[in-house]
Amino acid sequence: MKKLTPFLISCVLVFGATACQNPAKTTADAPDTATKPVTQAPSPEATEAALKDAQSETRRNQLNADIRAREQRNNTFNDGKATNRSPNNLESEVRSKLEANIPNGHLTIAAAEDGTVTVSGTVVNKDQIAKIDRLAKEIKGVKQVINKATVAQTKS
C-alpha cells in the first residue's frame, strides 16, 4: 500500500501534465483570411427592408416587452425602487423606449449616475421632440431629461 499511493499520485501528475499541454498553433492551423472575399455593403433594397423591419409594429412590441421585463427585474431586485441602476442600464432602456415610440428618429442617449439622461440627435417633427421628455421619464431611475434633439432638415 505504501508503494501504491506514490505510484497513483505520480500517474495522476503525469496524466495531468500531458493533458494540459497546449501545442503551439502552426500556420497550417491559422485561419486563411487573405483569400476570403471582403464583405460587401448591403444593397439599397436590403437596407430599406432592414429599416422597415426595425420600425415595424412587431419590433415596437418586442422593445416594449423588453422594457417591461427590465422593470419587473428592477422591481424584484430593488423592492420597486429605482436604486442601483447603472447609467448603461438607463441608456439602454431609454434608447429602447424612444426607438419603439419615435419612428425614423436618429437619437443618441447618455446617462449619468444621478439619473440625468441626455438625448441628442434628430427627429422628423416637433411633436416627436415633445414626446422625448415624457417617454424617457417613464423609465424608473430617470430623474431629469436634457433634450438636445432637433428636427431634421428635409431634403428638397
Task: Assign residue 103 the CATH number of its domain.
Answer: 3.30.1340.30
Q: List per-residue pLDDT tens for the chain, 156 residues long.
A: 677 888 888 878 777 777 666 666 566 666 665 565 556 777 778 777 776 776 778 888 888 888 888 878 877 777 767 666 788 888 988 998 888 888 788 899 999 989 899 999 999 889 999 999 999 998 888 999 999 999 988 765
Looking at residue 133, its pLDDT comes to: 93
CA distances from 55 to 63, 95, 101, 104 (A): 11, 14, 9, 8
Residue 78 lies in a domain: yes
Place of cell 491559422: 30
Residue 116 lies in a domain: yes
Domain count, the chain: 1
Q: Evaluate if pTM is beyond 0.95.
A: no
**Structure letter (DSSP) for residue 125:** S
Looking at residue 31, its pLDDT comes to: 61
Residue 118 lies in a domain: yes
Query: Which SS3 state, helix, strand or coil, does residue 147 take?
Result: strand
Query: Which SS3 state, helix, strand or coil, does residue 43 take?
Result: coil
Looking at residue 16, its pLDDT comes to: 73
Looking at residue 2, its pLDDT comes to: 74
Q: Are 149 and 119 in contact (CB under 8 A)?
A: yes
Query: Which SS3 state, helix, strand or coil, does residue 113 take?
Result: coil
Q: Are 80 and 117 in contact (CB under 8 A)?
A: no
Residue 14 lies in a domain: no
Q: Are 131 and 97 in contact (CB under 8 A)?
A: no
Place of cell 444593397: 43
Looking at residue 111, its pLDDT comes to: 93
Q: Which domain holds residue 55?
A: 47-151
Residue 4 lies in a domain: no
Residue 8 lies in a domain: no
Looking at residue 38, its pLDDT comes to: 56
Looking at residue 52, its pLDDT comes to: 73
Residue 7 lies in a domain: no
| C-alpha gyration radius of the chain | 27
The enclosing H or E element of 107 equals strand 106-111
